[in-house]
Amino acid sequence: MPMTINTPRLRLMLYHALLLGGLLLFWYAMTEPGLIPPFWFDDPTRAKFFFGQPLKVFERIWTWFAGGAIYGHLWVTLVETVLAFAIGTLLGLVFGLWLALAPTASTLADPYIKAMNAMPRVILAPIFAVWFGLGIASKVVFGVTLVFFIVFFNVYQGVKEVSPVVLANARMLGASGRQLLRYVYLPSATSWVFSSLHTSIGLAFVGAVVGEYLGSARGVGYLIHQAEGVFDIDTVFAGILVLTIFALILDFVVTRIESRLLVWRPGTAETEAV
C-alpha cells in the first residue's frame, strides 16, 4: 500500500477546501445584513430571510449534535433507509431470479411491471401514509417500491446475460437445476445487484426522507418540514446539510462493502505482476 503523501492529491484536496471556503464566504457576504449595500432587496435583512446564514446554520447543527436532539431523528431515518434497502433488494432479487427463469410468468407479468415502473411512485407516499400510518412502516414501504425496481431489473438482466458457455460448462460438470441456481445464476445476479447498490441505497434514502417530509413525527425529513412551516430557513439548510453528509457516509460504506465482495471483478487499478 502506498502510504507516502503524494503532492498532486494533497493539492487537489487543498483546492477542494478553497472552493468550499469561497462558496461559504460568498454566502456569508451576500446574506449578512449591512455588510454590503443592498442591491436587490429593499430591506437589508431580506436576503437573510430567504437564504439563511452560514454561521446560523452551523450553530444550529452544533446545538443539534451537542444537545443530542438530532440523534433520535437520524436514527429513525437510518432505520427506514436500511429497512427499505434490505427488503427492496431481497424482493427484487427473488422476483428477478424467478421471472428471469420462468418464461411464462415473465411474459405474463411483463406489461404490469413496465407500467408500475413507469408510474411516478412519489404520489404513492400519501396513500402509504393512509394505509400504514405515520410511523416507520409507511416510509419503509415507500422506499421499497423505489428500490425494488432498480434491483429487479438488474437481476433480471443479470440472469439473462449469464454466459451460455459458463452455464453449459456447469451442466457438463454435473450441476443439477438447483445447483445451477445456487452456484451460477445467484452469484452472477448478485454481481449485478452490487452494481446497482449505489443507486438503490440512494433511493432508499430518498424514500425515507420524502416519506418523513410528507407526514411523520420523527426523522430528519420531519425536522426540515417543521422548520419550513415556521420559515426557519437556517434550520432547513442545516437539515439539508446533515442529510447530505449522512448520504455521503452511506455511500462510503457501500463502496467499502462493494470492493470487499467483488474482488473477482477485473478492476482498473488491479494490475498485478505474476
Q: Does 258 bind another protein (CB under 8 A)?
A: no
Q: Which is nearer to another protein, 106 or 188 (CB)?
A: 188
Q: State the Cα angle at 23 between 17 and 25, rounded to 5°.
A: 100
CA distances from 196 to 118, 152, 206, 227 (A): 18, 10, 15, 34
**Helices 233-261, 69-101: crossing angle, 10 deg rounding:** 40
Question: Least CB distance from residue 170 to another protein, whole Å?
Answer: 7
Count residues near another protein (CB under 8 A). 25
Q: Does 119 bind another protein (CB under 8 A)?
A: no
Q: Does 1 bind another protein (CB under 8 A)?
A: no
Q: Which is nearer to another protein, 22 or 187 (CB)?
A: 187
Q: Which is nearer to another protein, 63 or 163 (CB)?
A: 163
DSSP state of 185: I
Instruction: Kindly write out the interface string for residues 163-192 of this chain, putting x where it contacts another protein by CB under 8 A and - elsewhere.
Output: x-xx-xxxxxxxxx--x---xx--xx--x-
What's the burial of 1, exposed, middle or buried (CB within 10 Å: 0-12/13-18/19+)?
exposed
d(CA 116, CA 118): 5
> Residues 128 to 157: which contact another protein by CB under 8 A?
none
Q: Which is nearer to another protein, 57 or 93 (CB)?
A: 93
Q: Residue 262's CB: how many other CB atoms inside 10 A?
A: 14
Q: Does 273 bind another protein (CB under 8 A)?
A: no
d(CA 147, CA 162): 23
Q: Does 62 bind another protein (CB under 8 A)?
A: no
Helices (H) and strands (E) in the chain, counts: 13, 0
Q: Does 259 bind another protein (CB under 8 A)?
A: no
Q: State the Cα angle at 74 between 68 and 80, rounded to 5°.
A: 150
Question: Least CB distance from residue 103 to another protein, whole Å?
Answer: 16
Locate 98 and state its grid cell. 424467478
Q: Which is nearer to another protein, 41 or 183 (CB)?
A: 183
Q: Which is nearer to another protein, 82 or 170 (CB)?
A: 170
Q: Residue numbers of the site for another protein (CB under 8 A)?
A: 163, 165-166, 168-176, 179, 183-184, 187-188, 191, 263-266, 270, 272, 274
